[in-house]
Structure 1
Amino acid sequence: MAGRIYVVGIGPGRPPLRTYAAVEAIRKSSVVVGYETYIKLAGDLLEGKEVISAKMRQEIFRAETALERARQGEVVALISDGDPQIYGMAPLLLELMAIRDMAVDVEVIPGVTAALAAGARLGAPLGNDVAFINLSDLLTPREVILKRAVKAAEADFVIALYNPIDPGLTEEVLRAIERVRGPEAPIGVVKNAYRDGEEVHVLRLGEVKGHQLDMRTIAIIGNSETFTWRGMMITPRGYSRKYRL
């Protein structure tokens, strides 16, 4: 019997923000594999299923387990929060399959990534071109992270910062962006978007130092056109350059 893997993005956490396809993929699966926090977030969908929960930094174990169970004929849901492509499990799973030349039926199910959830809470900061930058140096060298942040700022992208787990590196990146954008550039800081304990702050780059950023936080820095209005961040698409508003 042929197995299958659904690589599922369950969104930011609350059931209403899951896609229909994500829910259906988990329901079709006999085995669900995921990081323990994501397993808890999907707990209402797991009755009667075999659940394989893993700790932080056990991503290779999760991917290999999903592949092995699919090769045994099981239908497996390998779950990530947000979207499985954006710092999730899809790239690792497919990379392993390519390296090992493993023919397993895989479908990636998209989800609402953290930057989209945070952006919705902030208003519309993602209204034009956006760069996603992961501030965790577990897999990417610090100098590469810093270089990408500076180049994104110089290119005037809106910048969404994920996983600010190292306070020193986070501060270095923020100050480097501030040198390009200036201390008045708007920044939105959202913690636990669409989860219990949610916090939403609209600040200026020069004000963000006193706010604790951690792996549950997304920071969105506006581009040169982003403005704030009534507590919201708004990045114009450019309609005012073409039409009379």
Structure 2
Amino acid sequence: MSKLFVVGTGPGDKDLVAPKALQAINASSDLVAYGLYLDLLGDVCDGKTHHDLPLGEEIGRARLALDLAASGKTTSLISSGDIGIYAMATLVFELLDQQLQGKESHPEWLEVDIEVIPGISAMQAGASRVGALLGHDFCTISLSDLLTPWETIEKRIHSCGTGDFVVSFYNPKSKKRDWQINTARDILLKYRPSHTPVLLGRQLTREDESITITTLDKLDAKDVDMFTLVSVGNSESRHIINGSKEWVYTPRGYRKKL
């Protein structure tokens, strides 16, 4: 049976790529990805046929991967982080869904054996860099309104505030979107203290990584770009300092038992 691996390769550090992801890539003849993701993987991609489609060609990547697999080529469709979180896995299954509804003309896709391999997401990598920010209930919200109406995003931010979730904002800013993160900040300030700790993690686990711990009232779009993950603690998240070491954690309630 034709095989398609849908692979998450983690935030960037090669040491954080799961062994199962490496096995899938090794077993593949063809790799489909945004080129940077293949560059980060290094020599594990040597000897494979690379299909590098640019940003904005996500649908094309998913179609190509299904086509290659259906033609008999063992293929890996690769994304950084976890491929099931704001990434390519959902497109693969959306295309299959469209085929089942008769809206596509690729019955061969339905014969492909698909295996999704998870990876460490940016929010997990960021939380590990500062301690245990995701120690209690949390959510993620993408601030990109390219595919989701801003009214829906805003409603979700309010719900996050009401529920007092730790929240990780993906896609916080781009060249054409520079106001959403400040709006999200202002919404959350209605529900949690101004001193709530905030993590700004840029290029997490990569050579030019930078980590900044700030507070909700000081969160500003000028300190964020498209390579930055923004994670905001809940009302109980704590920023602790021990000499030159700083940590952020979110208690789970053990304090009553200590």
TM range (shorter): over 0.9
- Identify the residue that residue 185 of structure 1 maps to in structure 2: 196
- Identify the residue that residue 161 of structure 1 maps to in structure 2: 169
2:253 to 218, 230, 238: 238
Does residue 202 of the first structure (1) align with residue 216 of the second (2)?
no
Alpha-carbon distance in 2 for matches of 1:44, 1:153 = 44
Alignment of structure 1 residues 103-118 onto 2, 5 Å: 103=110, 104-118=112-126
Alpha-carbon distance in 2 for matches of 1:173, 1:223 = 14
Alignment gaps of 5+ in structure 2: 101-108
Alpha-carbon distance in 1 for matches of 2:60, 2:237 = 42
- What TM-score comes out, normalization by structure 1 length? 0.95
Runs of 4+ that moved beyond 4 A: none
Does residue 93 of the first structure (1) align with residue 104 of the second (2)?
no
Alpha-carbon distance in 2 for matches of 1:196, 1:147 = 36
- What TM-score comes out, normalization by structure 2 length? 0.91
Structure 1 range deviating more: 125-134 or 138-147: 138-147
Alignment of structure 1 residues 116-127 onto 2, 5 Å: 116-127=124-135
1:142 to 150, 153, 165: 150
1:41-88 deviation digits (Å, cap 9, x = unpaired): 123211111000011110000000001011100100000100011001
- Identify the residue that residue 17 of structure 1 maps to in structure 2: 16
- Identify the residue that residue 52 of structure 1 maps to in structure 2: 51
**C-alpha contact 2:185 2:217 (8 A) present in aligned 1:** no
Alpha-carbon distance in 2 for matches of 1:154, 1:122 = 25
1:108-130 deviation digits (Å, cap 9, x = unpaired): 00000000001111211000011
Amino acid at match of 1:15: K
Alpha-carbon distance in 1 for matches of 2:141, 2:52 = 27
Alpha-carbon distance in 2 for matches of 1:98, 1:73 = 21
Q: Number of aligned residue pairs: give it.
A: 242
- Identify the residue that residue 172 of structure 1 maps to in structure 2: 183
Alpha-carbon distance in 1 for matches of 2:216, 2:124 = 20
Alpha-carbon distance in 2 for matches of 1:77, 1:158 = 33
Amino acid at match of 1:73: G
Alpha-carbon distance in 1 for matches of 2:98, 2:213 = 44
**C-alpha contact 2:192 2:235 (8 A) present in aligned 1:** yes
**C-alpha contact 1:167 1:213 (8 A) present in aligned 2:** no
Alpha-carbon distance in 2 for matches of 1:25, 1:129 = 32
Q: Give the C-alpha shift of residue 214 in structure 1.
A: 1.6
Alpha-carbon distance in 2 for matches of 1:180, 1:87 = 26
Alpha-carbon distance in 1 for matches of 2:131, 2:45 = 33
Amino acid at match of 2:183: E
Alpha-carbon distance in 2 for matches of 1:32, 1:20 = 17
SS state at 1:159 partner: strand
Q: Percent identity?
A: 38
Q: Give the C-alpha shift of residue 211 in structure 1.
A: 4.7
